[in-house]
């Protein structure tokens, strides 16, 4: 918790906090109870409205929809990472004629809403003769938008490294590419990993925008089954709860991966620190030996 | 160019709708987000848990799903009839509030504990401490990410085009109904957003540069 604002509570404050806690629980429970009552009153969880779970066909189509969402995510993520790496490299270039256009492109793609991009590729481009499937339109838009954001993340990560790193590498006679791949990128990637993964969570959520251009993903599956008034009497609520849980589950898994990597990262740094200390001691030992050598 | 000049009235009207949608949701989400942040930094564990649950759920749900819920699922509960426009505002507000909450909370957490302890030692009251010591410092680290959140909200208003709420994203529907060139229409919409977002990005960068030096 944030200890900035409050002192350690005394006996009076503890009593007050307990009363507030009880009130808070009461309000939260009342809100949940009201929603559940509405669910019951409008018969959202009757056997007919939950019947869709029993159909094998629907279960398979659910798996297929999740598969579509995940493949759009996977391909979009890989392409966005490549796009981001290329444009970050271009923005960090020493040549203004590479740097400036890259900066303009990144800034523009960051400013255009993803929905407009998807509309552009799916509804706009066919008039010029280029036909794209909804899947391609989603993946390309995700690549352009998230790639631009990732390019900025990469660039910020590399710029945040101490200048001494690249200066030392240049002083050792490394080429520009060597400095980037051997010295800057390994350090920057480690620092940026949590940010990159949280951007990938955004990308995963953004696949749901494919719903707007009829891409057959998880959310569209949900509206199709949930809107089925003939067979199941519009089980929109129960279906949407399932869909939301799947999305939240997938995103939380990614977020946990980010925190896990962050933790491992911190642990690694400590290991490196002790390694360095050992190395320092070894060096000291060598130095004293050398000094000793000189005196002898 | 003719797509824009022939439909100038349409473009202006719908971009106006976008700005209106943005302004209303921005104000509401700032208020709700700050309240949620107050819950998340409160000394009562239950309040913190409520705030954390809200933020976790809303931040990991796609905005489109929130829209679908409020436009397709919520009416089935027969609680209170709301117009699609109101539903869009509610969806945008609830979704953005989770991000506003995180920005405000992390802003407060960047203030060193010693600042608050020192002000308590000097005998400042809670409101004096908050108003004169903590918040002015927190504001510095809040404004740049808050601008990004608001830029995201401005762009997110286009999600409403899938739900028959008129805003800049619905220009495509109007143009294709008239048989106009959708491709160029969409390019103009994109340019419109670039024009709206760029100044905000610039302001954000200025704040970030000027204030990052301070600590």
Where do the structural domains in chain A lie, given as residue ranges?
49-261
Give the start-to-end residue ranges of the domains of chain B. 2-212
- Predicted pLDDT at A276: 46
**What's the rounded mean pLDDT across residues A175-202?**
89
| Chain A environment of B194 (Cβ under 8 Å) | 108, 111-112
Is the torsion defined by CA of A106, A112, A113, A117 positive or negative?
negative
The 10s digit of each residue's pLDDT in A235-253 is 888 899 999 999 999 999 9
Q: Which residues of A180-200 are buried (b: 16+ CB within 10 A; e: fewer)?
A: beebbbeebebebbbbbbbbb
The Cα A91–Cα A110 span in angstroms is 15
Each of the 215 residues of chain B gets a pLDDT tens digit; together they read 677 788 888 889 999 999 999 999 999 999 999 999 989 988 888 999 999 999 999 999 999 999 999 998 888 888 888 889 999 999 999 999 999 999 999 888 888 888 888 998 999 988 888 888 888 888 888 888 899 899 999 999 999 988 888 888 888 888 888 888 888 889 999 999 999 998 888 888 888 787 765 54
CATH topology of domain B2-212: MetI-like fold (1.10.3720)
Classified as helix, coil or strand, A161 is coil
Flag if A252 and B56 touch (Cβ within 8 Å). yes
Q: Are B149 and B99 in contact (CB under 8 A)?
A: yes
Report whether pLDDT(A193) > 80.
yes
CB-nearest to B169 from A116, A124, A219 is: A116
- Predicted pLDDT at A3: 62
Q: What class has domain A49-261?
A: mainly alpha
- Predicted pLDDT at B214: 53
Report whether pLDDT(A46) > 60.
yes
Of residues A281 and A184, more confidence is placed in A184
Minimal-distance CA residue of chain A relative to B74: A237
Average pLDDT, chain A: 85
Flag if A2 and B198 touch (Cβ within 8 Å). no
- Predicted pLDDT at A295: 34
Classified as helix, coil or strand, A4 is coil
To the nearest whole Å, the CA of A16 is away from the closest chain B CA by 9
The Cα A200–Cα A205 span in angstroms is 9
Q: Are B125 and B64 in contact (CB under 8 A)?
A: no
Report whether pLDDT(A148) > 70.
yes
ipTM: 0.88
The Cα B68–Cα B64 span in angstroms is 6
**What's the rounded mean pLDDT across residues A33-50?**
85
Q: What tokens were used for A198?
A: 């949280």
The 10s digit of each residue's pLDDT in A55-88 is 888 899 999 999 999 999 999 999 999 999 999 9
């Amino acid at each position: 918790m944030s200890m900035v604002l409050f002192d350690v509570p005394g006996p009076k404050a503890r009593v007050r906090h307990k009363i507030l806690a009880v009130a808070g629980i009461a309000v939260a429970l009342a809100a949940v109870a009201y929603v559940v009552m509405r669910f019951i009153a409008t018969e959202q969880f009757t056997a007919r409205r939950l019947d869709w779970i029993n159909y094998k066909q629907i279960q398979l189509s659910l798996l297929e929809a999740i598969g579509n969402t995940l493949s759009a995510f996977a391909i979009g993520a890989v392409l966005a990472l490549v796009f981001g790496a290329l444009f970050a490299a271009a923005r960090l270039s020493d040549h203004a004629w590479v740097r400036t256009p890259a900066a303009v492109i990144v800034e523009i793609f960051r400013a255009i809403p993803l929905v407009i991009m998807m509309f552009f590729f799916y509804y706009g481009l066919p008039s010029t003769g280029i036909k794209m499937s909804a899947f391609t339109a989603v993946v390309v838009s995700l690549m352009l938008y998230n790639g631009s954001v990732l390019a900025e993340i990469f660039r910020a990560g590399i710029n945040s490294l101490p200048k001494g790193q690249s200066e030392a590498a240049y002083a050792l006679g490394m080429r520009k590419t060597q400095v980037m791949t051997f010295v800057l990128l390994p350090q920057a990637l480690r620092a940026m990993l949590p940010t990159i993964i949280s951007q990938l969570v955004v990308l995963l959520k953004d696949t749901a925008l494919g719903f707007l251009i009829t891409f057959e993903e998880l959310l569209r599956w949900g509206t199709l089954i949930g809107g089925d008034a003939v067979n199941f009497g519009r089980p929109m609520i129960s279906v949407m709860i399932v869909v939301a849980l799947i999305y939240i589950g997938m995103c939380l898994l990614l977020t946990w991966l980010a925190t896990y990597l962050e933790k491992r990262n911190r642990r690694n740094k400590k290991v490196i620190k002790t390694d360095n200390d050992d190395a320092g001691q070894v060096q000291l030992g060598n130095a004293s030996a050398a000094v000793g050598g000189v005196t002898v | 160019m003719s797509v824009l000049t022939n439909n100038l009235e349409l473009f202006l009207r719908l971009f106006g709708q976008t700005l209106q949608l943005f302004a209303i949701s921005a104000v509401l989400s700032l208020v709700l987000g700050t309240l949620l942040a107050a819950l998340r930094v409160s000394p009562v564990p239950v309040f913190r848990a409520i705030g954390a649950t809200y933020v976790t759920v809303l931040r990991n749900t796609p905005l489109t799903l929130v829209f679908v819920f409020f436009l397709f699922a919520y009416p089935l509960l027969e609680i209170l009839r709301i117009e699609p426009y109101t539903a869009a505002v509610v969806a945008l507000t609830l979704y953005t509030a989770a991000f506003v909450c995180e920005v405000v909370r992390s802003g407060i957490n960047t203030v060193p504990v010693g600042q608050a302890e020192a002000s308590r030692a000097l005998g400042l009251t809670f409101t004096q401490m908050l108003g004169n010591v903590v918040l002015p410092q927190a504001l510095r680290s809040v404004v740049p990410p808050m601008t990004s959140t608001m830029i995201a909200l401005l762009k997110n208003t286009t999600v409403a085009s899938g739900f028959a709420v008129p805003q800049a994203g619905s220009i495509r529907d109007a143009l294709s109904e008239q048989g106009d060139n959708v491709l160029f229409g969409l390019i103009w919409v994109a340019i419109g957003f670039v024009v709206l977002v760029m100044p905000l990005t610039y302001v954000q960068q200025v704040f970030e540069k000027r204030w990052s030096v301070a600590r």
